[in-house]
Amino acid sequence: MAKDSRIEWTHHTFNPWWGCVRVSDACDHCYAETWAKRLGEDVWGAKSERRFFSDAHWKEPLKWDREAKERKTRRRVFCASMADVFENRKDLIPHRLRLLELIAATPHLDWLLLTKRIHLVRKQLPPSYEFPSNVWLGATVENQDSAKKRIKYLLEFSSPAVRFLSCEPLLGPLNLRQWLQIEDGKPRVDWVIAGGESGPGARPMEPQWPKDLQEQCDEAGVAFHFKQWGHWAPLEQATGVITGKTPIHIVRRDGSEIKLAAVGKGKAGRSLGGRHWDQFPNTGNTV
Ligand code: SF4
């Protein structure tokens, strides 16, 4: 079956609409905003309209679901790459309800709902609605402050098959131990994704930050996925691609220097500690 998303950890992406407004430090270099502007779409900010889609667009996941069923497999759908499903605007309400109906109608798809507005999720669901078992609910946490503010809201939901954290762009060191502990025989958070920032103005990620997250997940038995270094790679991993003109960022810590080179996302790669980290949580969902 075709994979039609460039994001490593999903098979498909689906956007119920396009457009958003920045809410977090992680939004500073929002690639979706840049991409929409490049296409001439004025859909960013509180005052702009959002872009909505035709029935043909909404039928696509039904086709993916049929294909998954025929092949006796499951497929992951990332929702949304060009919006935040839980943005609080009246005009989004019918489209969000339509999305919930679509999720219910596609039981062979696992829907990854990732938001920076996890505190608004409960308020924006219909009364007594519970996420079905084909939802993976995720919150972005880019630093310790956002972890402290957001993870408690994620953990209020017990019905999603997976509760996950996207630590991308990772903007600082993160200690997640208190949220990774086993509770009732199950990790409280099931999956952690980490990655550095890419694109113009990208902020460097210190190599120790994703390494710490990988070690914390390993200790707690939580699945870990390292998506990318982003624009800046550790110098020792970039020696084959740097030139005399490559910008170098130096971090001085505990008397030593850590150097990062601005080689771009493609060349920086996604190897951490000499290997790729592509772990996924075990949901127990069968076809
Ligand atoms: S919430 Fe997501 S889509 Fe919205 S501005 Fe922030 S990064 Fe972009």
The per-residue pLDDT for 226 is: 97
The per-residue pLDDT for 5 is: 65
pTM: 0.94
Q: Report residue 227's pLDDT band, with 50, 70 and 90 as the boundaries.
A: very high
pLDDT at 2 over 80: no
Cα of 22 vs centre of ligand 1, distance in Å, is 6
The per-residue pLDDT for 156 is: 94
Strand partners, 138: 114, 164
Please tell me the residue having the least CA distance from ligand 1 atom 3.
Answer: 83
Question: pLDDT tens-digit profile of 149-158?
Answer: 999 999 999 9
Average pLDDT, the chain: 94
Most confident of 109-113, 253-257, 265-269: 109-113
Strand 162-167 and strand 135-140: pairing?
parallel
What percentage of the chain has pLDDT greater than the value 70? 97
Question: pLDDT tens-digit profile of 209-219?
Answer: 999 999 999 99
What 146-150 contacts at long range (C-beta under 8 Å, 24+ apart), as own/partner pairs, is 146/24, 146/25, 146/26, 147/174, 147/176, 147/179, 149/119, 150/116, 150/118, 150/119
**Cα separations (Å) of 52 from 153, 175, 192?**
28, 39, 31
* Phi, psi values for residue 234, rounded to 5°: -55, 135
The per-residue pLDDT for 242 is: 87
pLDDT at 283 over 90: no
Question: For residues 108 and 74, is the Cβ–Cβ distance under 8 A?
Answer: yes
Question: For residues 138 and 259, is the Cβ–Cβ distance under 8 A?
Answer: no
The two three-digit tokens of residue 34, written as one number: 């840049």
Q: How many CB atoms lie within 10 A of CB 213?
A: 26
Structural domain spans, the chain: 12-230
Q: Best of 7, 17, 18, 20 to mutate for ligand 1, by most ligand atoms within 8 A of CB?
A: 20
Residue 30: closest CA among 77, 78, 83: 83
Question: pLDDT tens-digit profile of 17-59?
Answer: 999 999 999 999 999 999 999 999 999 999 999 999 999 999 9
Q: Which CATH class is domain 12-230?
A: alpha beta
Question: pLDDT tens-digit profile of 114-147?
Answer: 999 999 999 999 999 999 999 999 999 999 999 9
Ligand 1 site residues, Cβ closer than 6 angstroms? 20, 22-23, 27, 30, 32-33, 83-84, 116
Q: Best of 27, 114, 115 to mutate for ligand 1, by most ligand atoms within 8 A of CB?
A: 27
Please tell me the residue having the least CA distance from ligand 1 atom 6.
Answer: 27
pLDDT at 1 over 60: no
